[in-house]
Structure 1
């Protein structure tokens, strides 16, 4: 159980970075915990970490937030009024503030967003994304793999963008950021994906990098409803509730029982075929970019698989990982899972049972990323 004042709150969303977590309560308040070596907690302090959740105040005290995203060592959040704030590491301009200086406190991104209301944000390792109410998609930060979705004019200059820049090729309703890749679902329901592809993680049939958004194949013509991007792999749920995986599979990231080391196109995770999957989250900042996954079905069943050397699967053991989905029976109904996230080595879920909220986390705790004292 996560400790502190947050344990009394109903948490509607959690997002996990490399070794830090940001949580959003039902009242729109932000809490953070874990590593703070680059100011990624946004508390303005020099403390190396926080062992228990701490509320973010200062310049954002009283502001109600609606959407959150934790990158490798930075955070991007959107308020209910559509403003965007960022803090943490900024060596690639991933904060969108026009420079490469880290921030210990939340800073408002005013440029490019002056007349736009932001409804969703996403954060990768060194890049960030935002979606407006009218479907405009903005990206900024590192473009080493083309994850921003456009070509930079100078091939000899910096490979990053310090201000939000609008994608001119697509408009969408949702944006997703992986370690060095990006994706979006547009208003028609089609999914687009771009960026690094050395392990086939773009799912388009090869391992060639893409700088511009490319259509993600929809098996059987059924479009994807949601995506989860790791470092070298992707999981997607289509509108029928079927779960697909593609990309790197050396630690069973696909839940396909190690059938192949990688998949270049979406493959059905048949062991969950009878389940109507609603939400899936996956990690990817771990050693050699292995990842672990949590998937929640419409009937409230929670599954986990992937790399487990630090117990991040929550199965009560330490091993190289499980290549097939395993059910976490302790979170079956009447417990309702409200939100979940996977970080570098840790997992976290927000639940409610008979009106009583709680937060659970597991994995290592060397930087306080579990939100509890050892």
Structure 2
């Protein structure tokens, strides 16, 4: 019988790799957590990672995952580690086909995606939320068509759905202007307006009120026609002199409505009943505004140039004087010193900016020491107030105070301290320089990611959100707005808001005067609310205030 030589047809396990051993083809060794097969006879002293003599036989996971709870997966070319997710997250597949942790998204009319914009802190006796299915809910006071339901029912004690036309894209953003107007932006970047229309701010070409949402982007007479709106700039005071300002994806800025102080940026003080593009502005990346009637406007260009225009009686334009500007102009201080700005904000009578080196500048009215420098003297030009600043909140109508979030997660405050609202010490003394906020006399407030403020007159309060989803509140709580289980008027230090076993992901203030409240968006889509209940600002039947967060039932 003929003999057929098949050669070596079986793998031979040789154990741990030995550089002094001579390996034959198909010998298999263990090296650095993986197995390798030799491909060349008489291989000696050649590491298994050298592909000229070895092939990877079985890849191990040693040194791929090093932390507790990490998962090992193949990323298309090699093994990689996925770090553990957070509580409430589930393992999903990304658009690239790779595993990732995410919050399970359920499109629902009972779970919220977003709440009222905190940059408009004077929502008069009403609240709003965008649901995960893209619909919008309003509740509370119904005057001036702000619910968008076609009527002015005195109050809605349970949330009602806004009457957008069929086939409207999902809504992504909602904001109300005190007691007079509502705006929304949909997923396609269309801008919707409804409510009172005394100054033509709906953008429909007339001054008749708008009872249900109107698509201003769909009107070819508006300069936003055919453009994608990406941001809206709310106003920071409760008056019915409505104008609107939006930023489009092409870097242009557009305005409409009341123009008594040149806030539309058109070179005059004539109201506009349709949206018009603001001249001289291009490549804009952020917009902001101050008060609702006496409006100061701000815009940042991609290269860090800051523009301002509009009302300027307290020097809030930062132009070095108190002269009104009807068209955008650069701020001389920043231009002359080659300072690039990355963030800007306005209050009713003063403003602030953060440069690319995280320095904070403030200017304008300073009667309460709210600028954080210069005692209580007004400043008509930007002056550096603080370093290492991540964000700032000055959204107050009167009794001015300013809160700063620094890059280390601490919060500092200056200005009016009615009811202990600054949270810096056990007193109600105003501050004229930034002072660190605390949870008691010796312990600072830390790990904060967002700070908001509410109240008008002297009934001021603030709420901070930390990186664990816990909220901290301070100041006036006569109607329970702090959510700490107390109706005490004065609360000197920040203390936790009483929300059990859920993470808060966003916060927004509601109400005016002493009638304050707070909206809390939770990580599972629930919305909670505290504080004043009149006219169903708190959506329940008996208009009873509450001093701990109550679930809003959608």
Band the TM-score falls in, shorter-chain normalisation:
0.7 to 0.9
State whether structure 2 residue 391 is matched by structure 1 residue 278: yes
Counterpart Cα distance in 1 of 2:250 and 2:311: 28
Q: Is the 8 A contact 2:352 2:362 kept in 1?
A: yes
Shift of 1:221: 4.5
Structure 1's 189 and 81: CA in aligned 2 closer, same or farther, altered over 3 A? same
State whether structure 2 residue 298 is matched by structure 1 residue 183: yes
State whether structure 2 residue 224 is matched by structure 1 residue 118: no
Question: Superposition RMSD on alpha carbons, in Å?
Answer: 3.6
Structure 2, unpaired ranges of 5+: 1-107, 236-240, 410-446, 463-472, 479-491, 545-554
**Which stretch shifts more, 241-250 or 337-346?**
337-346
- Name the structure with the higher strand share: 1
Largest Rg, 1 or 2? 2
State whether structure 2 residue 228 is matched by structure 1 residue 228: no
Give the secondary structure class of the aligned counterpart of 1:315. Answer: strand
Per-residue CA deviations over 1:293-352 (Å, capped at 9, x if unaligned) read 665556342556796623443524379xxxxxx8744269x9554354576444645444
Which residue of 2 is the match for residue 147 of structure 1? Answer: 263
Per-residue CA deviations over 1:25-76 (Å, capped at 9, x if unaligned) read 4554323234332112222222133345433234267531233343342122
Counterparts of residues 36-75 of structure 1 (less than 5 Å): 36-59=142-165, 63-72=169-178, 73-75=180-182
Structure 1, unpaired ranges of 5+: 320-325
**Which stretch shifts more, 293-302 or 198-207?**
293-302
Counterpart Cα distance in 1 of 2:521 and 2:168: 25
Among 186, 189, 192, the residue aligned to 1:82: 189
State whether structure 2 residue 216 is matched by structure 1 residue 103: no
Structure 1's 75 and 223: CA in aligned 2 closer, same or farther, altered over 3 A? farther
Which residue of 1 is the match for residue 356 of structure 2? Answer: 239
Counterpart Cα distance in 2 of 1:60 and 1:268: 51
Give the secondary structure class of the aligned counterpart of 1:38. Answer: helix
Please report the TM-score for the alignment, with normalisation by the length of structure 1: 0.77
Counterpart Cα distance in 1 of 2:390 and 2:343: 10
Q: Is the 8 A contact 2:453 2:460 kept in 1?
A: no
**Which stretch shifts more, 187-196 or 10-19?**
10-19
Please report the TM-score for the alignment, with normalisation by the length of structure 2: 0.55
Structure 1's 311 and 121: CA in aligned 2 closer, same or farther, altered over 3 A? closer
Q: Is the 8 A contact 1:33 1:49 kept in 2?
A: yes
Counterpart Cα distance in 2 of 1:198 and 1:207: 5
Counterpart Cα distance in 2 of 1:151 and 1:264: 22
Give the secondary structure class of the aligned counterpart of 1:86. Answer: strand
Per-residue CA deviations over 1:57-99 (Å, capped at 9, x if unaligned) read 3426753123334334212222111211101121111111111
Give the secondary structure class of the aligned counterpart of 1:128. Answer: strand
Which residue of 1 is the match for residue 506 of structure 2? Answer: 338
